[in-house]
Structure formats: C-alpha cells, structure tokens
Chains A and B, each alone.
Chain A
Amino acid sequence: MNEFFQQLISGTAVGCVYALVALGFVLIYKATDVVNFAHGEVMMIGAFLGLTFIDTLHFPYWLGVIAAVACMTVFGALLNRFLLRPLAGQGILSVIVVTLGLSILLRAFASVMWGPETFPLETPFSRKVVRIADLVLSQEHVAIIVLTVLLVAALYAFFRYSRLGIAMQATSENQLAAYYVGIPVNRVHSMIWALGAAIAGIAGIMLAPISFVQVNMGYVGLKAFPAAVLGGFGSIPGAIVGGIIIGVVESMAVLYLPEGFNNVAAYLLLLIVLMVRPQGLFGVQTKRRV
C-alpha cells in the first residue's frame, strides 16, 4: 500500500510538471491559434537558465529562479514577435512545421551553449524527505505539488480578477471583438507568450531535480501535448487535470503493467480518449459554420 501511495505522489509530481507545460501550451493555443510543438524545448531553455543563474553565477536559489523566469518572459515575447506573428493567417500545418523547426533549433542552441552533458541542479529540497505516518515522501515531489497548486491559484486569480487577465481571456475568445473594444491584441499576444514561456520555465526548474538538466529534457513536451489533448485542447483546467492523469497513469504503469508500458501509457490513454471522446475530457464540441 505504501508503495502505491509513493508512486501516486511521485506520479502526481511529474504530472504537475506535464500540467504546467500543457498549461502554457494551451494558453498560447487558445489566444493565438499557434500549436507550439517547441514548448518542451522552451521549458528546457528555462531549466538551463535556472542552472546558469543558480549553479554558475551562484545566485541564491529563489533569486536564481526569479531571474530565470524573468529571462523566459522576454524570450517568450521575442519568439512571438519575430517568429510567430509573421505567420498569422497561415494554415495549421505551417505553424506545426515552424514550431517543430524551432524545437530542433533550440536543442541545437542549448547543446552549443551548455553542452550535451547532464547537469544536476541543487535545490533547497534535495535529499530531504517528508514523513507522514509511515509514508516517506521526497521533499522535491511534495514541493512540486505545492508549488503547482500555488501557481495555479495565482493564475486563476490573475485571469479572474486582473484587467490584463480578462483582456487575455477576451483575446482568446474572439480576437476581432477584443480589438474593437480597444484591447491591443498584438501586445496581449506577446504577453501571453511571455506568460506561457515563464510557466514553462518554472516547470523546467521544478523538473530539474527529477530528470536532471539536459538537452533532451524537452521531450517532456511530448508528454505534455497528450495531456493538453486529453483535457480538451482549449481548456485550462483540462490541461491541468490531463497532465496529472498522465503523470499518475505512467507511474501506475511502472507498478502494475509489464515493462515498456510506462513509456507508452500516455499515448495509449490519449488514443483511447480520442476514439471515445474526440473533443477531450473537458473540451467543448464546437459547431462550425460553413
């Protein structure tokens, strides 16, 4: 039983990382219609920035995190301005291909900048445990879950109560109408990209102690996409729930299914959900006018 709970917690922690990457992915998709296949690589860049600030420049942990996230916001806004805004109006295939190209580029960039090795990142939670009754949980996992809950609560408040958050929602709902009521749509798009990249950066830094910082950690993005689709592509709560489901299913597959299933559990689940409910768990089936 203990083993089950430990797997459950570690699965949830990894699921939280998927959820955050998926969240940024969905935010960007909803607002700008861009399917960002490079979001996992954006996360990887965030983790490397965290590594640079904390390990190489010896910033205190939290200051390093803040500095990395600040860099990520700028990075996200620049990506939007120079790569994706020129694509406005082109088909979904062009966007997919450009972001796939971007993911290759970012991987190449990271291996030039930081090298192909794997780097450990020391955190205040490393090698500490939390004991609840006779459960022994790694503090890193618990910290990820707590941080994700805080972050999601903050984002909820931001989208619900702040002027900018509401403007972002309006832009996602209907760009033209948002433009007519005086929302600077282009600037809001850049801000959404900044926000998405920042969230990915946080996810990357949180993931660092679990999977180490390395060029290929962006492949986590390939698990975050099924999470987003599972939740129904345009749904923010869906992305979070989808991410956690995938994390938990994966870790349960380690425990209960033959070896090998844990690698593909996310995808099997995705295919099943798409067969049964093509719009995802939380998605709304949109009727299209012709």
Chain B
Amino acid sequence: MHFPMKTSYRDDLHLFKDRSSVVLYLFLFAFLIALPFVTGDYVQSQVTFVFINGMVAMGMMLLVGHTGQISLGHAAFFAVGAYTSTVLEIRGIPFLPAFAAAGALSAIIGLIIGLPALRLKGIYLAMATLAFSFIVEEVIVRWSSVTKGNRGMTVPDASIFGFKVSSVTHVYYLSGVVFWLVVLVIINILRSRTGRALGALRDSDVAAESMGINLAMFKTAAFAISAAITGLAGALYAHKLAYISPEQFGIMLSVEFLMIIIVGGLGSLHGAVFGSIFFIVLPQIIVTVKAYLPQKVAELPVLDSATFGVLVILFVLFEPRGLNGYWVRFKAYLSLYPFYRRGMFRRSRIGSADLIKH
C-alpha cells in the first residue's frame, strides 16, 4: 500500500497530500466553475444537490465517522436551518445574516442535544437523537404562526448585498462556494488538535480522557459543529427548492443521511462526497434501467426505496469501507500498476477491536 513518506510533523499537517493532488483539485475547480457554461439547468441542479447533501454528509462524517457518536436526528438540524433562514428572510432580513443565524441556531440546538450525549452511548444516543428529531418535526407542524405548519412556506430569493440569487446557476455557485468553504473548515478541524482529540475519543473515550482530553467539551463541540454545518446546508436546501414543509424533514431523511456516509465509507471526507454523488446518481440509473425491465416490475412505486435498502445492506455486508474503499484501491492500482494484488487491502478477521465489546 502506498503511503507518502512523512519525515516531519509539518508533513502531517499539509492541506494537500502532494503536488499531484493540488493539480487534480485545480482541475476539479476549473471543471466546477465551467460547468454552468457547458450544461443546462438540470445538471446544475443535480450538482447543487450533491453540494448540499455533501455538506450534510461531511457534517455527519465529522460526528459519526470521526467522533464515533451516532445520530439519527440530523434531519432536525437540517429543518432548523431551512426554517430559520426562510422565516428571517420572509421578514426582510438579507441572506447572509439569515444564513449565519441558521447555522448559529442549529449549533445551539446541537449543543443542547449534545449534552445528553455526554452520558449516552451507542443505541441510547441513537434513540435520544431520534426522539429529538420527532419533537422538532412536531414543533414545526404545530408552531404555525411562524412556520405555517403543514401548509409549508415559499422561500424568497436570497439577496446578497442587494444582488438577487434567483436563477439555477446563481444557486449553483452559491452552494458551490459554501460547500468548498465547509470542506476547508472541516479539513482544518480534522488536521488540528481538535481533530486528533475527536479521533482519540472515538477509538477509546477512557484512553482519550486519561490523555487529558476534555470529553465533555469535545463531544458537545462535535455535535455543535456538525449541527451548524447541517443547518447551513438546510438553509441552502430551502433556497434550492424554494418551498419547504415539515414532511420533507422526516425520520427517513435522517436515515438517508446516515446511509450516505455508510455507503461512502465511514471516516473519510472523500467518502462523504462519494456517498452524496451516489445518492444523486442512483435514481438516474434506476430510471435508465427501468426501461429494460418488464413493465410490471418497472411500475412498482417502491423500486427506488427497495434498491436503496438492498444496496446499503450489501455495502455493509461486503464493503464496509464503502465507495471510498474502491477509490483507495483504484488509486493504488494505478500507482502500483503491474504489481497490484487483490489481497492488499484485506483486513484480518481477528482485529483487537472486534474482541472488545463496544
């Protein structure tokens, strides 16, 4: 397996692994900037959704993949972000302050839900976040003087310093810029002291605590950061759809976010983005495949959800490292070209981690 040889601590902190990845990212940026000039609204919309889902997935990755806390309540943060920015903007507040408020309010709620997380683990935490998500959904439905309840709300165009973000392309660029800023923030968190503390408390909170890591602070911080990013994504989502209602933010959305990061591969930001791309592209693939299926099968309304269910199960059973696992192996295959062997990334079955009960 190929690892860049690191000779100093500074090497470990570089933003890019090596010069070739800088070049690759430059190409990616150029491609994303040029995209609206060569494609129509449809492709831009899909990429916008990849940006939005990708932000949520990275926020969840930070919490679930890097900190080891389970959350089944991220749809709630998403909803809080979407509703906060919409409610403020309807009252005439410009986009940027409303956007910041969406992130801030989500972060505060993340802090509150992070507090029980200090004492809860595993399944208990999953239940607490699930319960919280139901409560938020109900509050949105019932608080109709502000949220218009089940009727939903139309989202006004975002205005930034008087500039109206109205067309598909505008929203595309806005989401893209926010997405890459979030990427930068998360990478910086992960390669700093905070990121190492989060990883340590995921692997063993007792060991981390005995190294002097303040568990309470880092766990709640992970919840707050993750919630804030999800809230920002929610605000963008509201602008993208231009209409929000409570049923968009049900429990199945939280499940979908969790599935995105599992399919992508836990513990890697690449995985979060791959997972989001996968979940946007899959419905297109299903539509394409449907043309070749017998009509009886193709007309089933549950085909999409059943395919998701099956794929997720297959991923966990056969490729726990997710799409990112394929990506890592593909890169290794290219760089080692004639010498790549199939067993190179096989994990030993008896890992010490398997013997210790969670």
Contacts and interface: CB of A to CB of B under 8 A. Distances in A.
A96 B312 contact: no
A150 interface: no
A104 B142 CA distance: 28
A100 B317 contact: no
Interface residues of A, number: 46
A267 B301 contact: no
Given A100-B259, A229-B123, A274 B309 contact: no
B130 interface: yes
Given A86-B317, A270-B127, A270-B128, A105 B309 contact: yes
Given A264-B134, A290-B206, A98 B312 contact: yes
Interface in A273-288: 274-275, 278, 288
A87 B123 CA distance: 17
B204 A290 contact: yes
Interface string B296-320: 0000111101101110110011001
B308 A104 contact: yes
A33 B354 CA distance: 13
A101 B259 contact: yes
Contact of A264 (B124, B135, B266, B317): B135
A264 to B, nearest CB: 5
A98 B313 contact: yes
Contact of A274 (B70, B116, B258): B116
A149 to B, nearest CB: 27
Interface string B174-205: 00000000000000000000000000000010
Interface stretch (A107-115, A154-162, A178-186, A198-206): A107-115
Contacts of A226: 127, 131
A102 B127 contact: no
B204 to A, nearest CB: 7
B138 A83 contact: no
Contact of A267 (B132, B266, B300): B132
B64 interface: yes
Contacts of B357: 33, 288
Chief secondary structure at chain B's binding surface: helix
B309 A97 contact: no
Nearest to A260: B142
Interface in B134-168: 134-135, 138, 141-142
A130 to B, nearest CB: 34
Given A87-B316, A290-B204, A271 B116 contact: yes
Contacts of B302: 107-108, 111-112
A162 B266 CA distance: 44
Contacts, number: 126
A90 B320 contact: yes
A290 B210 CA distance: 12
B126 interface: yes
B132 A233 contact: no
B70 A263 contact: no
B278 to A, nearest CB: 14
Contacts of A266: 131
A288 B128 CA distance: 22
Contacts of A83: 313
Contacts of A118: none
A98 B138 CA distance: 27
A105 B306 contact: yes
27 contacts: A35-B126, A89-B354, A92-B70, A92-B358, A94-B320, A97-B312, A97-B316, A98-B313, A100-B255, A100-B258, A101-B313, A102-B313, A103-B309, A105-B306, A107-B305, A112-B300, A222-B130, A226-B131, A229-B127, A233-B124, A264-B138, A267-B131, A270-B128, A271-B116, A274-B119, A278-B120, A288-B206
Given A101-B312, A225-B130, A278-B124, 17 more contacts: A35-B123, A92-B123, A93-B70, A97-B259, A97-B312, A98-B316, A100-B258, A102-B313, A103-B309, A104-B309, A105-B309, A107-B302, A108-B305, A259-B142, A267-B131, A271-B131, A288-B357
